[in-house]
Amino acid sequence: MSRPLMLEQDPVERVKNFDEVALGYTREQAVEEARRCLQCKKPQCIRGCPVEIDIPAFIREIAEENFEAAAMELKKTNSLPAICGRVCPQETQCEIECVLGKKDEPLAIGRLERFAADFELARGVKTPKTAPPTGFKVAVLGSGPAGLTAAADLARMGHSVTIFESLHEAGGVLIYGIPEFRLPKRIVKAEVEFVRKLGVEIKLDTVIGKTTTIDKLMEEYDAVFIASGAGLPSFLGIENENLNGVYSANEFLTRVNLMKAYRFPEYDTPIKKGSNVIVVGGGNVAMDAARSARRLGAENVTIIYRRSEEEMPARNEEIERAKEEGIHFKLLTNPTRINGDENNWITSIECINTKLCEPDETGRLRPEPIPGTEHTTPADIMIIAIGTTPNTLIPTTTKNLQTGKKNTIPTDTTGRTNREKIYAGGDVVTGTATVISAMGAAKTAAKNINQYLQTKQQKSHRKI
Ligand SMILES: Cc1cc2nc3c(=O)[nH]c(=O)nc-3n(C[C@H](O)[C@H](O)[C@H](O)COP(=O)(O)OP(=O)(O)OC[C@H]3O[C@@H](n4cnc5c(N)ncnc54)[C@H](O)[C@@H]3O)c2cc1C
């Protein structure tokens, strides 16, 4: 038996709006799918979940039509289930471990997670009890999935938690990067609200490294968790990358998602819509940028990627949806130069075809240019989505904080940096990764911050 198909907006219609594409399971579909679960004695799926959800337990509740209880089960270890149910790559995490997958389709764990979380959101979220106040104060830097998860877990343990966020809205990439049609902002806001209800204070418009520094915060707080992500865009390093009409995916998506540029002039951030849009990259970010450009009204949107489709890091589901929406794919191609007009606006891109050679240090097949295949592609917008690294602001304004490769902040297995009381997790440690890996790292750090604070308390009691 296969999983029920999830309803989706029709591609012809959806390219004209920013509404969510996937519409979720109905009650009947969710119950039918949950009843396929074998309730394994030794469930393998939990192994694939970085936040250790008791997957069979929440599925059982859905199968028995106890939807609220299913949501409560999820919330025991995951404060952001409606987000995870939408954007986690379950196909390579919990679902790949599902034994049903050996003969048939694995259980649709992500869709069921989304169903239970949405059921609760629609009826009003219940706030769980937190432990009695410990008197300890923890500062969390950044309100993306890592920051929100660590803050929620620490608040549940009874600590007083303040999140410092540089932007004017909380959520990190969930709010400024991932578009509305994949992750509605009302969902992010509702789950941020849940974290607030646990007692977490969120201070917006506060840039650590400018408004204040970690060393200053350490005078007031007993521990600090850095979850500042990897928001610094990488560029190709080719000629004319500074022309008008060339965006980093970060800027493009922030203008569209956070600043609602698609509703300019009602909102005051403009964006050039373009008719020939080129997006460079093969990850989720490239798919999101291309699909956003299409919704802004571009007729021709082309993704240029230097490897083949097989190597594309984006989720298959998102590649398929991009194709359905008429996005063209120009694979095994690399841009080499950008051309512009007399007003410094981009007009075209020079490219070269590539072939795949033996793997590089990342284990992926290395693309090599094929001489004689140079060609020009018209473009009035170019969006570069080839990755990001952490910003250097925090390490350069914090005394003796060690940095690693590409501006990352390394930690030990407990999530601690080289400095006592300072922990880190998420993209700032690993470089661009996934929502769920950031949350997993945050949970580990929260556990160890708690342990550190308890040890500190025991020591101070002994002194008395
Ligand atoms: C467009 C896009 C699409 C993606 N799609 C997916 C997907 O489908 N599935 C998936 O699993 N992952 C996806 N990812 C990756 C995922 O979003 C990230 O791995 C995840 O958000 C990392 O979480 P984080 O909390 O570490 O950092 P972030 O989400 O980046 O949050 C960091 C926060 O820290 C704040 N901050 C930074 N510096 C400071 C400072 N100095 N002071 C105060 N605050 C600061 C930032 O403003 C931000 O709010 C996507 C990423 C992008 C960009």
Query: Can you give the pLDDT at residue 410?
Result: 97
pLDDT in tens, 167-223: 999 999 999 999 999 999 999 999 999 999 999 999 999 999 999 999 999 999 999
Residue 244 DSSP symbol: B
Ligand 1 pocket, residue 67 CB under 6 Å: no
Ligand 1 pocket, residue 426 CB under 6 Å: yes
pLDDT in tens, 56-107: 999 999 999 999 999 999 999 999 999 999 999 998 889 999 999 999 999 9
Residue 126, both tokens = 């219940």
Q: What is the pTM of this model?
A: 0.95
Ligand 1 pocket, residue 177 CB under 6 Å: yes
Which domains does the chain show, CATH number per domain? 11-123 (1.10.1060.10), 137-231+389-463 (3.50.50.60), 235-386 (3.50.50.60)
| Averaged pLDDT, 304-325 | 94
Q: Calculate the CA 263 to chain-centre distance.
A: 24
Nearest CA to ligand 1 atom 8: 87
Q: What percent of the chain has pLDDT over 70?
A: 99
Query: Phi and psi of 327, rounded to 5°?
Result: -75, 130
Q: Which atom of ligand 1 is nearest to the CA of 210?
A: 41
pLDDT in tens, 401-418: 999 999 999 999 999 999
| Averaged pLDDT, 1-29 | 94
User: In angstroms, what is the span from residue 175 Cα to ligand 1's centroid?
Assistant: 9
pLDDT in tens, 136-155: 999 999 999 999 999 999 99
> How big is the CA angle at 433 (ends 429 and 435), to the nearest 5 degrees?
100
Cβ neighbours of 454 (radius 10 Å):
13
- CA distances (Å), origin 194, targets 129, 152, 199, 289: 12, 9, 9, 29
Query: Can you give the pLDDT at residue 463?
Result: 62
Query: Can you give the pLDDT at residue 360?
Result: 84
Please determine, for residue 459, whether its predicted confidence score (pLDDT) is greater than 80. Answer: no
Q: What is the DSSP string of 28-42?
A: HHHHHHHTT----SS
Please determine, for residue 256, whether its predicted confidence score (pLDDT) is greater than 60. Answer: yes
pLDDT band at 461 (very low <50, low <70, confident <90, very high): low
Lowest mean pLDDT among 119-128, 277-286, 420-429: 119-128
Ligand 1 pocket, residue 440 CB under 6 Å: no
- CA distances (Å), origin 360, targets 61, 162, 234, 445: 46, 42, 19, 32
Sign of CA dihedral 254, 257, 258, 259: positive
Q: What percent of the chain has pLDDT over 90?
A: 88
Nearest CA to ligand 1 atom 49: 172
454: Cβ contacts below 8 Å, ≥ 6 apart = none
Chain mean pLDDT for the chain: 94
pLDDT in tens, 201-210: 999 999 999 9
